[in-house]
Amino acid sequence: MPATRRFFLTLAAALSLSACGTLGFGSAKPAPPKPVQTAKPQAVIGLALGGGASKGFAHIGVIKVLQENRIPVKVVTGTSAGAVVGSLYASGMNAERLAQEADAMQKTDLVDLTLSTSGFIRGEKLQNFINRKVGNRPMENFPLRFGAVATEFDSGRSVVFSRGNAGQAVRASASIPNVFQPALIGGKRYVDGGLTAPVPVGAARGLGANVVIAVDISAKPARLTESGFFSYLDQSLNIMNTAALNNELAGADVVIKPQVQRLGAVGGFDERAQAIKLGEDAARAALPKIRAVLSRYRLQ
C-alpha cells in the first residue's frame, strides 16, 4: 500500500474515533445548567396605625418594639388616633421621644370646646399641636412617607392626605362626627377616617409599601355596661364600619392587635402607660410572623 494511502486511512480512523467521543458514545452526560438565582425584592415596610382615641397610645409601644428590632419602616399611615401618633413618628420622633410626648400630653392641649350643632370640639388646638410638634413642616418633608386618612363628608369617599399641612390633615382624620366639627380643606368638609379606613392598610400600599404591618386598636361591639357620653362614644368608635375594618385588615401582611379593649376610648389618658405596654406586648408576640414575612425580602 502506498505511503500516501496509508496516511489518509490512518487520518480517517483517527477522525472517526474523535467523532465517536464528540457524539457522546461512552462519555459522561453534560452537567445540567445551574438554576437561575432570583433576587429577593427590596422590602418597603409600611406601618398602618388604626383609630381608637386614647387607646392610640398603644401605637407607641408597637413602634418601640419595631425600633428595637431594627425593622426599617419606610411608610406610615394613620387614621384618627393613628394619624396623631403616625404624624409625629413620621416626622422623625423615635419611640422614646413619643413616650415623652405622651406623658406630657394633656387633654387641654387637644380640646377646644365650642357650641355648635356640628360638633362641640373645633379641632384647631389639635391642628396647632401637631404642627408645633413637627416643626411646621409639610408632610412631604418628613423623613418617612406619611399619609393621614380622612372621609370626605359629602361624598363618603376615603381620602389620603400625604402633602401639605400635617396638622390640618391629622385634624381631618380625627374629626369624629358630632364630636369634632368637620375639618374644612380646599372648600370640602372632612370627618374621621375610621368611617372608611379604620386601619389604613390600602393607603400604605398606595404610598409604596409592599409589606404592611397593621395595628388594630378597635374593640368588638359589646353590650354597654355603663351609661354616659364617653361610654356611648366608645361604642360608636367600635361599630364604625366594621366591614371596612375587615376589608382593610385582609390586605395586611401582619396584624398586631393590642389588648386594649378595657381601656377607655377618651378617658384613657390616665392609662397611657398601660396602653403603651399593651402595644409592646402585642408587637413582641407578632415578631416571629414579622420575621417570617420579611425573610422573603431584602431589608437593605
CA distance from start to end of the chain: 77
The cell numbers describing 31, all together, are 452537567
Round to whole Å and give the CA distance between 227 and 22.
Answer: 92
Catalytic position from the list 54, 162, 192, 218: 192
- Give the pairing type, strands 73-79 and 45-49: parallel
Q: Is 80 a catalytic residue?
A: yes
Instruction: State the helix-helix crossing angle for 95-104 and 58-68, rounded to 10 degrees.
Output: 160
Burial 218-256 (b: 16+ CB within 10 A, else e): bbeeeeeeeeeeebebbbbbbebeeebbebbbeebbbbb
Closest CA to 95 of 130, 50, 61, 69: 61
3-state SS class at 123: coil
Catalytic position from the list 54, 80, 162, 173: 80
Catalytic residues: 80, 192
